[in-house]
Structure 1
Amino acid sequence: MLSPLELLIPFIILVLISLPLVNVFRGKTSVKSAKVRMVSHICLFFALVLGTVFFSATKAYAAETADVADKMAGSIGQGLGFIAAALSTGLSALGAGIAVAAAAPAAIGAFSENKENFGKSMIFVALGEGVAIYGLLISIFIIFMKL
């Protein structure tokens, strides 16, 4: 059973990460400042994820049970497999979003100039979306290999 402090800490971390972005969402900061803040918050997020993994790994080492080695080997390996699956899905979806964000306006512009460019331009948009599907497939393979 989780203690109230263990339930409250993730909420506090989430509030601390999102609190500086309030002015960005209100439109009171410049675009350059917003980009710097977003990059710093993404770096902070990944640092917190790594810190959480490190904290949970050290907490697992401190457990006092009869067969600690057998339980830790399976749980840490399985947990890292789930993290790898989440990263492959998330980063491929992020890459696909960037690709579609660049290809879709260009496809619309090409289509508006010449109606025959529709098929050619949609291929590039579909290729960008295919990246997310490949990442999802890789994460499914990772999860089924760990089970």
Structure 2
Amino acid sequence: MTLATKIILITALILSIIIPFGYYLIGEKNKKRYKRTIGVNAFFFFGAFAIASVMLLGGPQVNAAAAGDTSAALSTGLGYIAAALVTGLSCIGGGIAVASAASAALGAISEDSSVLGKSLIFVGLAEGVCLYGLIISFMILGKL
């Protein structure tokens, strides 16, 4: 990437932050300004994302034979993707489970304080899902 394209990309990213903030402060003082500010922010953010994608994909092509063994690079890349998916999806599932278990536990504790230990076990089991995913991702990364 040349210096000019880097400057354009950095300028677009900075403007995607400054323009919606200015629009929020200077714009009309009504309830719709929040939605408009988010819309303007999303427009400029995805615009900067599109500019970055065009600049990154429009660069020089690299010969696969000169880059090294493609099968090793492919397996390494897929291993990183697998580790990211395992960690991300297990944490999303654990977060959903903790949200349900913790709210039910708080409701039960507010009615009867003697169920605190039992409810904490269920919340801990829900958090264990995240830890299992993290352990599996470490095992995947250890094989790379």
TM-score by length of 2: 0.59
Identity %: 42
Deviations 1:95-146 (A, max 9, x none): 1111111111110111111122111111110111001101101110111111
Deviations 1:23-81 (A, max 9, x none): 9xx8956xxxxxxxxxxx9xxxxxx9xxx8xx98xx9xx5236x448432222221111
The aligned counterpart of 2:114 is 116
Q: Does 1:71 align with 2:41?
A: no
Query: Number of matched residues?
Result: 113
The aligned counterpart of 2:45 is none
- The aligned runs of 1:1-147 (5 Å cut-off) are 2-4=1-3, 5=5, 8=9, 28=34, 62-64=61-63, 67-68=65-66, 70-146=68-144
Distance 2:80 2:116 in 1: 40
Letter in 1 for 2:86: S
TM-score by length of 1: 0.58
Gaps of 5+ in 1: 30-40, 42-47
Gaps of 5+ in 2: 25-31, 36-41, 43-48
